[in-house]
């Protein structure tokens, strides 16, 4: 049935698609927006005010690379004034001296710093940027010196999965309160590069054992969150807590979406802030209501006892694999297409280059045509 529309509590704000890195696993859309299409300072501040009025308690400031916005401290201060918790998600490359301290003074609550590898060579290969690893290490030190809580984010795929123990050691060395082992979700550029990013099943199983052991060993010392890989799952995850249930995302141009990959569902139209108020979008948008609750579900979801646990899983994944956004998420063992997930893993492993260093990444670049899905 249609669940009551509750206030959102979380928001992902993609302030820009610009980024000094070119990671092939990036979840940004393949059609990246240039700087001249980004919403201005006044627009973002107005949106944040309406988000606070709507009930949002925390905002994740992301991109691209959000520190490329010269008005970032002003945006943080606007959110802090409304009592909204702010988390900056950054690549930690090219941040000017004094900038982190200025963000802390503006009221920033937390920084989430991404590492593409536990070692410099891996970071440089995946991000296609020389010297990036050393810059990240320096950013981590400055975050801790500024007194801000630190999360290390490790996006995991075939090319760095064996470094999971080293990511754990790195996070401890840097004094992080939290480590996120986040297996890549195949949307945007990651979907284009799926065949060269997909790990082998045995490597995933080793990773799970390593993470579970570390979670127990480091209990009370460092929190380790684990984002499981959908393609190896038995049941799907609820997308953003369920489509338009308690969170939403805003693109750099002010387009409001239920999740970061929702624009891949071409049958839906997503409104832009300004043309519609945030409250109207949240409550009345046909796109937000398209997969809200359970009324939209097909079998086997419609009669499944898990329907209000995973809320149908990922609509964008259903679109990408089943060609139907309303289909049962193929990650679910009850999906008629669940075997397709295993077939995609096998295809990727079969196609794997014998020289992992020469695997053909299609690097993320603004204005670049990504080509067909790998």
> For residue 303, how far is the Cα from the chain centroid?
30
Going from the C-alpha of 200 to that of each of 10, 187, 212, 230, 363, the distances in angstroms are 34, 19, 19, 13, 22
Please name the helix (run of DSSP H) or strand (run of DSSP E) that holds residue 109, with its range, or none. none
Going from the C-alpha of 46 to that of each of 73, 235, 243, the distances in angstroms are 15, 39, 24
- 226 is written with which tokens? 């684990």
Ranges assigned E (strand) in the chain: 10-14, 58-62, 85-90, 110-114, 150-156, 178-183, 223-227, 247-250, 256-257
DSSP assignment of 329-370: PTTSTTSTTHHHHHHHHHHHHHH--SSGGG-------TT---
Annotated binding-site positions for [4Fe-4S] cluster: 19, 23, 26
CA-to-CA distance for 264 and 318, rounded, in angstroms?
A: 11
Annotated binding-site positions: 19, 23, 26
* DSSP-based three-state secondary structure for 156: strand
């Amino acid at each position: 049935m249609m669940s009551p529309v509750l206030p959102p509590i979380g928001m992902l704000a993609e302030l820009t698609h610009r980024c000094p890195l070119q990671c092939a696993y990036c979840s940004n859309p393949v059609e990246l927006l240039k700087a001249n299409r980004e919403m201005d300072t006044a627009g973002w501040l107005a949106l944040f005010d309406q988000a606070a009025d709507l009930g949002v308690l925390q905002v994740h400031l992301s991109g691209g690379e959000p520190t490329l916005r010269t008005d970032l401290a002003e945006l943080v201060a606007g959110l802090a004034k409304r009592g909204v918790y702010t988390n900056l998600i950054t690549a930690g490359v090219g941040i000017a001296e004094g900038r982190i301290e200025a963000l802390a003074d503006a009221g920033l609550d937390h920084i989430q710093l991404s590492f593409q590898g536990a070692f410099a060579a891996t970071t440089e290969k995946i991000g296609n940027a020389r010297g990036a690893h050393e810059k990240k290490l320096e950013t981590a030190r400055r975050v801790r010196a500024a007194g801000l809580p630190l999360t290390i984010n490790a996006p995991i795929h075939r090319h760095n999965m064996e470094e999971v123990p080293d990511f754990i050691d790195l996070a401890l060395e840097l004094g992080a309160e939290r480590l996120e082992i986040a297996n890549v979700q195949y949307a945007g550029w990651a979907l284009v590069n799926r065949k060269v990013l997909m790990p082998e099943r045995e490597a995933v199983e080793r990773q799970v054992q390593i993470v579970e052991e570390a979670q127990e060993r480091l209990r009370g010392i460092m929190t380790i969150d684990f984002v499981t890989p959908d393609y190896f799952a038995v049941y799907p995850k609820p997308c953003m807590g369920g489509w338009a249930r308690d969170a939403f995302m805003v693109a750099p141009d002010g387009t409001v979406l239920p999740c970061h990959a929702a624009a891949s569902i071409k049958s839906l139209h997503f409104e832009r802030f300004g043309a519609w108020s945030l409250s109207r979008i949240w409550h009345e948008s046909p796109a937000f209501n398209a997969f809200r609750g359970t009324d939209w579900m097909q079998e086997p979801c419609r009669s499944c006892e898990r329907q209000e646990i995973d809320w149908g899983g990922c609509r964008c994944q259903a679109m990408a694999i089943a060609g139907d956004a309303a289909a049962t998420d193929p990650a679910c063992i009850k999906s008629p297409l669940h075997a397709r997930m295993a077939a995609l893993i096998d295809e990727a492993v079969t196609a794997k280059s014998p020289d992992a260093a020469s695997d053909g990444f299609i690097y993320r670049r603004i204005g670049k045509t990504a080509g067909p899905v790998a």
